[in-house]
A = this chain, B = another copy of it.
Amino acid sequence: MDPDAVAKAFVEHYYSTFDTNLATLANLYRESSMLTFEGQKIQGSSNIVAKLTSLPFQQCKHSITTVDCQPSGPSGGMLVFVSGNLQLAGEQHALKFSQMFHLMPTPQSSFYVLNDIFRLNYA
């Protein structure tokens, strides 16, 4: 399958899950997975989802602006770089964000997230 199509499908799945059923994002991470969220380092699927569910908003909606991807080397991994807007419930203006994922293949022809780095681009 075309890597760009895989990256786009992953990104759509990731953010629609984030916006509608955040707890099930845990399925995309493993115990070795790392998240750096606005500079804070978190490791492991359950810790990562605990961090994301603790964020101070009731509801959010991600809108994707760009998705870029590259193979990360002989491991079969894939780097996915996203920019977009994040609308929080009750806020007038959307926030801009950038996020990168390092996806690693699973034996089931799927991917999990090994690396995840998220930053808001403050205006």
A interface, CB within 8 angstroms of B: 34, 36, 39, 41, 66, 68-75, 77, 79, 81, 83, 96, 98, 100, 102, 104, 114-115, 117, 119, 121, 123
How long is the Cα–Cα vector from A41 to B4 in the complex, in angstroms?
Answer: 12
Question: Contact: B117 with A81, CB < 8 Å?
Answer: yes
Assuming the A-B contacts A39-B66, A68-B39, A70-B34, are A98 and B114 also in contact, with contact meaning beta carbons closer than 8 angstroms in the complex? no
Which residues of chain B come closer than 8 Å to A69, judged between CB atoms? 36
- Determine how many copies of this chain the complex contains: 2
Chain B residues with Cβ below 8 Å from A102 are: 70, 72-73, 79
Majority SS at the chain A contact face: strand
- Find chain B residues with CB under 8 A from A73 CB: 75, 77, 102, 104, 114
Bound CA–CA A83/B81 (angstroms): 13
Since A41-B70, A74-B75, A81-B98 are in contact, a sample of 13 more A-B pairs with Cβ atoms closer than 8 Å, ordered by chain A residue number, is A34-B70, A36-B68, A39-B68, A66-B119, A68-B117, A70-B115, A73-B77, A73-B104, A79-B115, A79-B117, A96-B121, A100-B100, A123-B123
